[in-house]
Amino acid sequence: MNTSLLLTSLVFLPLAGGFLLLFMGGRAQTAKITALAIALLEAALACSTWFCQGAIPSAGAPAGFFLYEDFPWIEQLGIRYILGMDGISLLLVILATVVTVIAMLVSWRSITEKITLHYLLLLAMESGIIGVFLSLDLFLFYLFWELMLIPMFFLIGIWGHGRNIYSAVKFFLYTLVGSLLMLLAIIALYLIHGAQSGMYSFSLAALLGTHFSPATGLWLYAAFLLAFAVKFPIVPLHTWLPDAHTDAPTAGSVILAGLLLKTGAYGLIRFGYPLFPEAARTLTPLLIGLAVTGIIYASWIAFAQKDMKRLVAYSSVGHMGFVALGIAVWTPVALSGALLQMLNHGLTTTALFALVGMLDERAHTRQIEDYGGLWGKIPLFSVFFVLFAMASAGLPGLNNFVGEFLVLTGSFKAAHLATILAFIGVILPLVYTVRLIQELIFQKERRTLPLSDLTLREMSVLAFLALCDIYIGMHPAPLLDILKQPVALLTGGVP
Amino acid sequence: MTATDLFIALPIILLAVGALVTLLVGAITRTTNIGIVIALAATLGAAFWLMQSPPTLPAPTLGLSAGGLSRLFGVFFCLLAAGVLCLSVAYNRERGISGEEYPSVLLFTTFGMLALASATNLLTLFLGLEAMSFGFYILVAIDLQRGVSGETGLKYLLPGALSTAFLAFGIALLYTVSGTLSLHELMQFTLTSGTPDPIALAGWGCLLAGLAFKLSLAPAHLWTPDVYQGAPAPVVAFLSGGSKAATILFLLLLLPQAVDVSALRIPLCALSLFSMMIGNCAALRQNHVRRLMAYSSIAQMGYVVLALLSGKSGGYQAAAFYAIAYGTISLAAFGAITVIERNGGGETLDDYRGVGSRQPFAAGVLALSLFALAGIPPTAGFTGKFLIFSAAIRSGEITLAVTGILLTAVSVYYYLRVVVALYFNHADNTEDTQPRSIPTAPEYAVLIAAATTILILGLWPGKLIELLSRA
Amino acid sequence: MKLYLELIILLPLLGGISNALLGGRLFSRRSSEFVACAVIWGSCAAALTAAYSYRSPEVVEIATWLSDFDFKAPLTLYLDPLSLSLCLMITFVCGLIHLYAVGYMRDDHCYVRFFALLNLFVAAMLTLVLAENLPLLYLGWEGVGFCSYALIGFWYSDPKNATAGRKAFIVTRIGDIGLGIAIVWMFELFGTESITRLNQMGNLLPVGIVTALGLLMLLAAMGKSAQVPLMVWLPDAMAGPTPVSAQIHAATMVTAGVYLLMRMFPLIGSSTTVSAAIAITGALTAFYGATCAVAQRDLKRILAFSTISQIGYMMLGVGSGAITAATFHLLVHAFFKALLFLGAGCVITTLHHEQDIFRMGGLRHKLPGTYWPFLAGALCLAGLPLTGGFFSKDGILSAVWRTGGMLYGGLYLVGLMTAFITAVYTMRMLLVVFGGPSTPLSHQAVDGADLTENKDKRMVSGVGPLPRIMEWPLIPLALLGLGGGLLNLPEYLGGGLLHSFLAPLTGHEPTLPHATELLLQGSAAIVALAGTATAWLRYGGQRRSLRLSEAQQPARGLQAFLREGWRVDQLYDLLFVRPYVRLATLLWQRVDEGCIDDNLDRTSTQLGRFGNMLGGLGQGRVSLSLTGMAIAAALMIAWLAWMTA
Amino acid sequence: MIVPLAHVLVLAVILFCLGLICTLVWRSNVIMMLIGIEIMLNAAMLVFVGGACHWGTADGQVFALMIMAMTSAEVSLALALVVYLHRRRNTVDTDEFRELQDQ
């Protein structure tokens, strides 16, 4: 297979497809189907890269990257167009394509106005996110990093509900503040490296060996960390997330939780730690502390929520705390656990948001107190709900457990106390999860709501996610194997 | 006057002649658009001439040259003028601005800009700047049917005249110190290494104060929102894009020649900081779109000053790039505003509600230019900011750079407010009452061209950067 | 062997999954029930075959599971005497209970969910028992927890049931923190999660760490096995259908904690502190459970507290290092407690879900098929001589005695006292429920109206005679309970089967001289008989009706204290639950929104106001505009002048 | 040169300041403000002429001439505007024109 432009087509296929949609302004149905077809094609393309793992990368590819594209772009500034795929990117790209398809499917009926635009934005978003996961040039990375904000902003703003404008703007500003400082840091890094080596470049591979004075390294890393921590989100920079999630349309929530949050973690793994190893080590205790605080704090707050989406949003913050912990300690097991946890969180939370969205779509309320006794009314829905809720609470045998457990195993050596606290944090999700299940699924119906059980479309989406959850929960070995090499390269572990 | 002189001066002459011809033709026939057509021909002709002509030595007798920078900016000014002319056709028709004086004055203004761009001595430079300002004094007040036009004119003219006085006095002082008006020598004498002559510094102070007005730098910025609000939209596009770029060019022709500009660092810092802060903060709650854009332009000029401040480490290229980028974005933004405001559409954010669905094209271009102003990639605005901050960091202006970038983040808020108004807020029942105004073909052309340029400068800025670093 | 082990777990799992997916749609009710029971019996058969072909402990790796760098936790099963005997017990008892459940659930239309979960539970439980490494054990551990949660709240429409399930899940999960930490810690210490290898490495570590590990596992066991102080969930868990109580909350799951400690005993047993802690916990719990059971009037709650108490005995046995005795008691207890629960289920079903023992009576004649097996179970529970319960309990007590010392001496006395109370409450239950004249159900207003809440509203009232299928599983259980002693006869009667079977695992456990053994058994027998006599004196014959009329009065003083389980629930509510809920709201509204978010919003508002002020500077006056420029010039010139000066 | 350059400069600065003050203070009459600006420009011209004398080049004088020409154009424009404004609002007080301002 000729893989020379595979990555480029991965990145730009959705965008090109989006442009195609532009010419279908009026014919919403056609646009919808076209968009779905493009997303499916993209997913197929992403999955096909699975089989490229054995491919011999082009010359100049850093170790671990089996697909690699490097072209000059803005030569005057030493900016190159570098895309590369290693195990980490591979999994995340596949996740991105899958979640996009799911986002399209779950909003199939609920979006009634500006349908074409909605799907166009979803596709554009996909391009941006995949770009983030693949770029190995910091300038290119930053470009995609910012690019993915805009579609999300519109998604929340146009199709959201409640205080959607407030939330959209808050989301945009919050993330932008972080990333603008990162831009400065990127520039500084570029200049420092250029001054040292005489070769000005934004390529990650070139920048890796840059030396800093401790203070400089610390400041630069802090800027990177800030950008990623906002996306993560790490407490106390998380307050945009509950708002954004609550007010976003279902597809928006799905993508936000499933993908956007992952970019922060990914950035930290791909750029933050490798570029500034010493600074990262200095700030590790801080990151660990914040991660554990986040796990407990967010899970605790989630218990008090009255709005289902808000609850899931806070739970997201808590779960991403595990990812943060895994990254912070930077041991092979913890890091691969964190990566797997990203994937798991992507699948599980996506499902939960989809489920909440389905309820909202039917009954037009997200207040927990309006529901009750769903098991009697919509058993199929309830089965899936319990399954994903349990996955999210970390029931062994389902996917989240694997990630969390590996993170905790890996981090125990590095941070005893934090891990013990995190273990306490493991129980808190259960507390709010069983509360949610009880109030929603169990008990008696509290209000007569027009509820109907899952349609075939919804069921196939959920069944797919459920299979993924169980598969990863029971047989994570293939995924862990893929992660092994890149993680070993990053952490210096022995695969 | 030698052939070389003529060669260099031809575009300028073309514009001047064009202006006169337009006036004459206007006097002869009353055909509506003939003036605009002639003006368009003149600008495009000049642009074409500048583009195809090879670089030459400075003109021996005239104070003119056709170096890389001047040709680049010359082309830019001409194209900008052409764009504004295209935008004006429909706008003027609907606002009742008729007559030949509009295209004629516009050409004259362009003439001033072009003269400024190719100046080699301060006299030409000054005259070019003044010629341009003259044009704008007239242009901003040309819509006499509008009640506020007179006030707009007054608010531009009086500070403008004052700034001219400052400029003239500053130049006079510099001349007194150096004894020459030639740019290069003057700069060598007035901004030497070590402690420069106090009189020269006083001259620079006056000069900068005068230019601060033209660039609408705080605290000489107060006219900006009022004039942006009162003037016809295409004129604002020209004012915002052209006059600012010309003023930046004025500084770009001077400062790089200096031996050491560190004496001016603190004043420039202050101007930059105040402008960024006041511009960005004052726009936050602004409900009038044009005023908002005015404050935004104040802030943007603050960034340019930041670039000029760190000139030697790439700041001059950054400033030049940003001037062009900002000009293009202004053209796109005010072009879109022109289209939106035609047919008596409102000017406040409330009036902009639902425009995204009523006028998707104009709203799209406006949104794009707003994102560009906010510095979101992949737009010209991002590349410009990137270059500016690179230069700032390279020259060690870390504090200012961090402040600037944080203020950029603040600025995003008000740009988003416009986007929010365009797309998120649904107008209440205005869907049916307001007519759908469809952009005319020239407007389409200009907006598409500007938007494309914004994106191209965002994605492939290499060519322009190369041109600038060679100039 | 690999096949057998796989089948043991896979059959229930497949049964559960196929029931969940196909039940109700593809399967008829009969086939659902058939599948559910068949897979368990199939599993039982596989376990028997495995037992038959068992030669020595075996490790079977089925597949990889978690495997990352040096961390390995494959799906590996471990068959040794301990796990084998538990497997046999579990599959057999669960098989009987499944059959019973067919009858019990015959009018419930949610049978698919019920059987699927019941099957899944068995699969998880067997995974727990057979797991060779700790993460896999944890998988089963949590799996049974989930099934228990879902089954306690099976009749979900009543919030009380759902709350009970939730409570069970959360409280046991609190204990699991200990297990989780122990697992990752042991990985850090030894670099392996394999139970067999860990057990060989106990002596490599300083005692302090072993103690810590042991205490962590004890915490886990406390949660799962409802030991003090995490015992609060088990009485409430009786909200579930009776077969669930029998299977999960009596015979199998609740003994998982004991199993864990036994499994890891080679590692943690080297710390005397841990042993003592286990023993104290066990004794305390045994005493607590027994005292509470005395005052209960809900049939199932009596049994629940009795379960707590009996598991306390097992813990006491583990704490005394008597793995054999503990296993023995575990097995026998599983038989007779399942029997008692099933019997109670029969009673309750017959009485239209009446659970208050003081409204029962005369059932001896009405339900002879239930009465006799129930009597057998009660005798076992009371520890009357020659029953299985007698021997197994005595084994533990003599092990405690054998350990000697102040502490264990005291614990022995506590154990003996508990044995007495056990006999009392068992006989009380028996006499009140089955004795006396047959009274029609009366519906007087009595204290403890909450006892009737477990009625399933969807059950058709007026159930006919008890289905046969509910009564006959009692018989094998009764036989096993009574004859359970044969499994592990005392030394003087020729030595125990179980003892020699478990010997490779436990090493050679010291035995007492026959005379002492006999003496101890004699005292245990006397205590049990004394308890029975006491109960007879209070509840036997005519005095029964006296007690019945006394029961009309609300409970007071000690009785109320005991009935409410020493009021631990209220205490926990005050100490943990309410602060947690309050703090959650507080954190959300005051900290998250009130502090972090609000400050940001306020900052932006201030910035906007500041901007407005800046924007208002010009006031629209030209003159100010000119002034601004003049100020700019003046400032700049002033600065430049100052700089040159 | 008879007058030393310093004297010329001092005079010019004084003139410039006077003009500036006039412009800033006399806000009730546009004409007076324009006159103030003219005075400032005259100060500039004075410096040019003085400088030209000092250096013995003609550049400064040319510049001064140009300023004169420019000034006249500017004033004519300004006066036209004043007339227009006066016709509309019947006043030449600049601060009366405050329609355009932040709300």
Interval A299-324 mean pLDDT:
92
Could you tell me what percent of chain B has a pLDDT over 70?
A: 95
Is residue B395 less than 8 Å (CB to CB) from chain A? Answer: no
- Given an 8 Å threshold on Cβ–Cβ distance, is C180 in contact with A376? no
| Maximum mean pLDDT: which of A78-82, C22-26, C354-358 | A78-82
Could you tell me what percent of chain A has a pLDDT over 90?
A: 63
Chain A interface, best mutation among B423, B431, B455, by max A CB count within 10 A? B423
Measured in degrees and rounded to the nearest 5, phi and psi for residue C61 equal -95, 125
Q: Identify the pLDDT of residue B433.
A: 52
Q: Give the residue from chain B lying closest to D66, CA to CA.
A: B127
- Does the structure show a pLDDT above 50 at C138? yes
Using CB atoms and an 8 Å cut-off, which of residues 194-213 of chain B contact chain C? 195-196, 198, 201-202, 204-206, 208-209, 212-213
Q: Which of B162, B180, B230 sits opposite D59 (nearest CB)?
A: B180
8 A C-beta contact, residue C520 and residue C397: yes
Is residue A447 less than 8 Å (CB to CB) from chain C? Answer: no
**pLDDT by residue (tens digit) across A41-70?**
999 999 988 888 877 777 778 888 888 989
Answer whether C touches D (≥3 Cβ pairs < 8 Å): yes
Q: Give the residue from chain A lying closest to C138, CA to CA.
A: A396
List all residues 6 or more positions away from A185 whose beta carbon is below 8 Å from its beta carbon. A219, A220, A221, A223, A224
- Does the structure show a pLDDT above 90 at C497? no
Classify A111 as helix, strand or coil. Answer: coil
Q: Identify the pLDDT of residue C439.
A: 60
For residue B176, the distance in angstroms to the closest alpha carbon of chain C comes to 17
For residue B3, the distance in angstroms to the closest alpha carbon of chain A comes to 36
- Does the structure show a pLDDT above 50 at A76? yes
Quote the mean pLDDT of chain C.
86
Element (H, E) at B52: helix B34-52
Domain D5-95 fold: Helix Hairpins (1.10.287)
**Number of CB pairs, chain C paired with chain D, less than 8 A apart:** 32
- C68-C72-C78 Cα angle (round to 5): 155
Chain C residues lying within 8 Å of D33, measured CB to CB: 626
8 A C-beta contact, residue A414 and residue A334: yes
Chain A residues lying within 8 Å of C169, measured CB to CB: 430, 434
Q: Give the residue from chain A lying closest to C178, CA to CA.
A: A423
Q: Give the residue from chain A lying closest to C181, CA to CA.
A: A420
Candidate from B368-382, C51-65, C128-142 with smallest mean pLDDT: C51-65
- Given an 8 Å threshold on Cβ–Cβ distance, is C633 in contact with B205? yes
Q: Identify the pLDDT of residue B394.
A: 92
Q: Give the residue from chain C lying closest to B208, CA to CA.
A: C633
- Given an 8 Å threshold on Cβ–Cβ distance, is D81 in contact with B151? no
List all residues 6 or more positions away from C31 whose beta carbon is below 8 Å from its beta carbon. none
Provide the pLDDT confidence category of residue A494 given band limits of 50, 70 and 90: low
> Domain map of chain D by residue range?
5-95
**pLDDT by residue (tens digit) across C285-318?**
999 999 999 988 888 999 999 999 999 999 999 9
Question: B103-121 burial string, b = 16+ CB within 10 Å, else e?
Answer: bbbbbbbbbbbbbbbbbbb
8 A C-beta contact, residue B163 and residue B210: yes
Q: Identify the pLDDT of residue C458.
A: 36
Is residue A183 less than 8 Å (CB to CB) from chain B? Answer: yes
Q: Identify the pLDDT of residue A219.
A: 93
- Does the structure show a pLDDT above 50 at C445? no
Provide the pLDDT confidence category of residue A8 given band limits of 50, 70 and 90: very high
- Given an 8 Å threshold on Cβ–Cβ distance, is B222 in contact with C617? yes
Q: Give the residue from chain A lying closest to C588, CA to CA.
A: A301
Q: Which of C611, C617, C636 sits opposite B267 (nearest CB)?
A: C636
Q: Which of C616, C620, C626 sits opposite D100 (nearest CB)?
A: C620
Is residue B448 less than 8 Å (CB to CB) from chain A? Answer: no
Quote the mean pLDDT of chain A.
90
Q: Which of C628, C633, C644 sits opposite B206 (nearest CB)?
A: C633
Is residue C587 less than 8 Å (CB to CB) from chain A? Answer: yes
Q: C349: number of CA atoms within 13 Å, CB side?
A: 28
Is residue B63 less than 8 Å (CB to CB) from chain D? Answer: no
- Does the structure show a pLDDT above 80 at C591? yes
> Domain map of chain C by residue range?
307-529, 569-597
| Maximum mean pLDDT: which of B277-291, C24-38, C445-459 | B277-291
Provide the pLDDT confidence category of residue B59 given band limits of 50, 70 and 90: low
Q: Identify the pLDDT of residue C442.
A: 40
CA distance C173 to C169: 6
Best CA proximity match to A243, nearest among B28, C600, B5: C600
Long-range contacts of D61-67 (CB under 8 A, 24+ apart): D62/B123, D63/B122, D63/B123, D63/B126, D63/B171, D63/B172, D63/B175, D63/B181, D66/B123, D66/B126, D66/B127, D67/B168, D67/D41
8 A C-beta contact, residue B65 and residue B120: yes
Provide the pLDDT confidence category of residue B434 given band limits of 50, 70 and 90: low
CA distance C31 to C102: 11
pTM, rounded to two decimals: 0.92
- Given an 8 Å threshold on Cβ–Cβ distance, is B267 in contact with C639? yes
Chain C residues lying within 8 Å of B162, measured CB to CB: 626, 629-630
Q: Give the residue from chain B lying closest to A181, CA to CA.
A: B405
**Between residues A1 and C576, which one has the greater pLDDT?**
C576
**pLDDT by residue (tens digit) across A204-229?**
989 988 888 999 999 999 999 999 99
Chain B interface, best mutation among C606, C623, C637, by max B CB count within 10 A? C637
Q: Identify the pLDDT of residue C453.
A: 42
| Maximum mean pLDDT: which of C19-23, C433-437, C452-456, C525-529 | C525-529
**pLDDT by residue (tens digit) across B233-249?**
999 999 999 999 999 99
- Does the structure show a pLDDT above 50 at C244? yes
**Between residues D59 and A494, which one has the greater pLDDT?**
D59
Could you tell me what percent of chain C has a pLDDT over 90?
A: 39
Chain D residues lying within 8 Å of C623, measured CB to CB: 24, 27, 94-95
For residue A484, the distance in angstroms to the closest alpha carbon of chain C comes to 7
Q: Which of D23, D97, D100 sits opposite C626 (nearest CB)?
A: D23
**Number of CB pairs, chain A paired with chain B, less than 8 A apart:** 83
Q: Which of C612, C616, C627 sits opposite D24 (nearest CB)?
A: C627
**pLDDT by residue (tens digit) across C533-563?**
999 888 877 888 888 888 888 878 888 888 8
- Given an 8 Å threshold on Cβ–Cβ distance, is B284 in contact with C607? yes
- Does the structure show a pLDDT above 70 at A314? yes
- Given an 8 Å threshold on Cβ–Cβ distance, is C623 in contact with D100? no
**pLDDT by residue (tens digit) across D34-82?**
999 999 999 999 999 999 998 888 889 999 999 999 999 999 999 999 9
Q: Identify the pLDDT of residue A97.
A: 95
CA distance A41 to A55: 21
- B252-B255-B261 Cα angle (round to 5): 145
**pLDDT by residue (tens digit) across B435-461?**
566 888 999 999 999 999 999 999 999
Interval A171-186 mean pLDDT:
92
- Given an 8 Å threshold on Cβ–Cβ distance, is C628 in contact with B205? no
Q: Which pair of structure tokens corresponds to residue B389? A: 């901050």
**pLDDT by residue (tens digit) across B269-326?**
999 999 999 999 999 999 999 999 999 999 999 999 999 998 888 899 999 999 999 9
- Given an 8 Å threshold on Cβ–Cβ distance, is C620 in contact with D24? no
Q: Give the residue from chain D lying closest to C620, CA to CA.
A: D101
Name the one residue in this structure whose structure tokens are 């840059």. A210
Q: Identify the pLDDT of residue A210.
A: 86
Roughly how many angstroms between the first and final C-alpha of chain B, as a whole number?
26
Chain A interface, best mutation among B405, B406, B407, B466, by max A CB count within 10 A? B405
- Given an 8 Å threshold on Cβ–Cβ distance, is B198 in contact with C641? yes
Chain C residues lying within 8 Å of A494, measured CB to CB: 69
Q: What value of ipTM does the predicted structure carry?
A: 0.90
Chain C residues lying within 8 Å of B215, measured CB to CB: none
Q: Which of C608, C631, C636 sits opposite B205 (nearest CB)?
A: C636
8 A C-beta contact, residue C323 and residue C260: no
Provide the pLDDT confidence category of residue B19 given band limits of 50, 70 and 90: very high
- Does the structure show a pLDDT above 70 at C512? yes
For residue D2, the distance in angstroms to the closest alpha carbon of chain B comes to 16
Q: Which pair of structure tokens corresponds to residue C495? A: 């030595």
Q: Using CB atoms, list chains with 3+ pairs below 8 Å to chain B.
A: A, C, D
Chain D residues lying within 8 Å of B164, measured CB to CB: 37, 41, 70, 74
Interface residues on C facing D, Cβ-Cβ cutoff 8 A: 612, 615-616, 618-623, 626-627, 630
